Structure 1
């Protein structure tokens, strides 16, 4: 017997995620950024692709609303690069969740990403991904706790 009862649940979850991202527009428009329905759909597809390419699964709400709220006030993000930046941030988020061996909570990783993105990386996704986050994850993998690494990083 085919098990199709999950389809309505998955559709409802997807609808709730889209509504949560749309709701972000209420907050982000004061920073001059909003997402259209087509852009939200694109970001949701990018999330699916990022999860798949990084071998991850996610239960419940995706990470996108947290990324939106954290990064919308960045001086390096503006309407013209908003969607592309969010796509890249989603992708590196899932990659570095793996790299950190899930030792960082979602919020800790997002806060580290924002801190480096707005400061040392000066809005460069490439620099963020290729240096600062690799350094953080390497420190975690080699037994340095994240607080110790951050303290050394601020010296």
Structure 2
């Protein structure tokens, strides 16, 4: 039996995502943020690389648009770092979808990322990834029922360091 894969040319995916981003750009302008066509192509390339490296498949740009819509009002995102931060958030999203064994929904993961990015991490993507998202993945893998509760653990860890 042969395996058949449907290949969608990247230009079709880019055009679809460009259209979705045009609509979102109207909302993000309120926060001084706008993506150019070149920015969108860079973001799509990041998404494609992230999907490939994590062995995931996605049709359309749904995650890109969810991340942009959720994070556009962050006080830590400026036009000058907008594309870089969106790219890193996309990479983190796909990586941690795998690391959390699909136990966490897309929306739940994005909301968690936003909450911690804006508050505990104050815009520090390394802190978000290597402290809080790693702890969520650890909690999921070890069967912690309230896997999103990382604050108690983190508060204890900080106290121990003092």
TM range (shorter): 0.7 to 0.9
Q: Cα–Cα, structure 1 residues 54 and 7, in superposed 2: closer, same or farther, change >3 Å?
A: closer
Where do residues 1-155 of structure 1 align in structure 2 (5 Å cutoff)?
A: 7=8, 11-146=11-146, 149=149, 152=152
- 1:148 and 1:69 map into 2 onto residues whose CA distance is 22
- 1:126 and 1:33 map into 2 onto residues whose CA distance is 22
TM superposition shift of 1:13: 4.2
Q: How many residues align?
A: 151
| TM-score when normalising by structure 1 | 0.87
Structure 1 residues 29-80: Cα deviation after superposition (integer angstroms, max 9, x where no partner): 0000000011011111111011111121113434100000100000111100
Indicate the larger mover: 134-143 or 103-112.
134-143
Q: Which structure 2 segments of 5+ residues have no match?
A: 156-162
SS of corresponding position for 2:104: coil
TM superposition shift of 1:11: 4.8
SS of corresponding position for 1:22: helix
* Superposition misfits of 4+ residues, deviation over 3 angstroms: 5-8, 10-14, 150-155
| TM-score when normalising by structure 2 | 0.83
TM superposition shift of 1:145: 2.2
Q: Which structure 1 segments of 5+ residues have no match?
A: none
TM superposition shift of 1:150: 5.7
Q: Cα–Cα, structure 1 residues 60 and 37, in superposed 2: closer, same or farther, change >3 Å?
A: closer
